[in-house]
Amino acid sequence: MEYRENTIMVLLRDKENMSDTTAIEILDNLTSKAVTEMYFNTAQLEFDFPKSQAKISYFTEDSKFPDVVLSFAELTGLLKRKYNLIKVSGKYRTN
C-alpha cells in the first residue's frame, strides 16, 4: 500500500499546520529562499533550493507516514488547488 498521500495530507488537512496564509508564506519562500525549514504541529517542510524540491516529514518516524519529496512545481500546484490561490502582480493571494 502507498502511504505517500498520508504524509501530504497531514500537512494540508491539519488546520493547526496549514491555513491559506501559511500556504502563501510557503509559496513566497520558494522565490525569496528566506528559510530552509518550516515546522508545523505535526509536520516539517524542508526546502532544497538547488534541486527545487521540498521534503515533507511527519513529526515522528512512522512507516505509514513516509518522508515525501515534491518538486516545487508539485508543491505549488497542491497549495494553489487546496487554498484556491492565484498570483497577482507577482504575489499570491486567495481567489
By the 10 Å C-beta count (0-12 exposed, 13-18 middle, 19+ buried), 47 is classed as buried
Domain that holds residue 11: 4-94
Instruction: Print pLDDT tens along the chain (95 aa).
Output: 478 899 998 888 877 778 899 999 999 999 999 999 999 888 999 999 999 999 999 988 889 999 999 999 999 999 999 999 999 998 999 99
Q: pLDDT value at position 22?
A: 93
Query: Cell 496564509 belongs to which residue?
Result: 21
Confidence at residue 41, expressed as pLDDT on a 0 to 100 scale = 87
Instruction: Please state the pTM of the whole predicted model.
Output: 0.90
Structural domains in the chain (count): 1
- What pLDDT, on the 0 to 100 scale, is given for residue 1? 47
